[in-house]
């Protein structure tokens, strides 16, 4: 298994409201200055992946990551209605790869997904313009 971090420049995320069971859309605010998604937004590419080992190969980037800049921590299903979008400090050492997406749109779920919990884990499928996103030649989706 390859741990992959996902960083977002902005957009919208959909999360299940634990009390009403409704899907609620929450805006992803602009990343805090100096955070990982803020720095990644400066790259002139709206979608890219990078090996964390490659990031650590660059001395200035390695030193920056050692300061524990903030990254996204997004979890759905908040019963209190608070936004699931939070930031936490990280040096990315828990990941092998990081994928950056400049702007997102919420997932579209069918009615059964809204009302019936699935006993299986959901597989993440990332597509851009209808094509599967690839990391180093390995498809992330089918």
Arithmetic mean of pLDDT, 88-116 = 77
**pTM, full prediction:** 0.69
Q: Is residue 131 helix, strand or coil?
A: strand
Domain count, the chain: 1
Return the pLDDT at 34.
Answer: 92
> pLDDT grade, residue 107 (50/70/90)?
low
SS3 per-residue string spanning 22-58? CEEEEEECCCCCCCHHHHHHCCCCCEEEEEHHHHHHC
Print the domain residue range for 80. 4-107+116-139
Residue-wise pLDDT tens digits, 46-64: 888 899 999 999 999 999 9
CA angle 108, 123, 118 (to 5 degrees): 75
pLDDT band at 139 (very low <50, low <70, confident <90, very high): very low
Supply the pLDDT for residue 14.
Answer: 81
Q: Which candidate, 42, 40, 41, places its Cα nearest to that of 52?
A: 40
* Residue 66 clears pLDDT 80, i.e. is over it: yes
Long-range (24+ apart) CB contacts under 8 A made by 14-20 are 14/76, 14/106, 14/107, 14/109, 15/75, 15/76, 15/77, 15/78, 15/84, 16/76, 16/77, 16/114, 17/77, 17/78, 17/79, 17/81, 18/77, 18/78, 18/79, 19/79, 19/81
pLDDT over 50 (residue 118):
no
Select, from the ranges 9-23, 73-87, 100-114, 118-132, the one with the highest average predicted confidence (pLDDT). Answer: 9-23
In this prediction, residues 9-21 reach a mean pLDDT of 80
């Amino acid at each position: 298994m390859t741990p992959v971090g996902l960083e977002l420049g902005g957009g919208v995320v959909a999360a299940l409201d634990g009390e009403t069971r409704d899907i609620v859309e929450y805006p992803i605010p602009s990343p805090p200055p100096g955070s990982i998604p803020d720095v990644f937004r400066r790259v002139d590419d709206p979608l890219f992946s990078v090996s964390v080992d490659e990031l650590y190969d660059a001395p200035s980037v390695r030193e920056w990551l050692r300061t524990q800049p903030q990254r996204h921590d997004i979890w759905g299903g908040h019963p209190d209605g608070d936004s699931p979008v939070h930031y936490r400090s990280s040096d990315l050492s828990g990941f092998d790869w990081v994928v950056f997406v400049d702007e997102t749109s919420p997932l579209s779920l069918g009615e059964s997904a809204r009302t019936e919990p699935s006993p299986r884990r959901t597989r993440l499928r990332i597509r851009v313009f209808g094509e599967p996103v690839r990391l180093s030649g390995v498809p992330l989706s089918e």
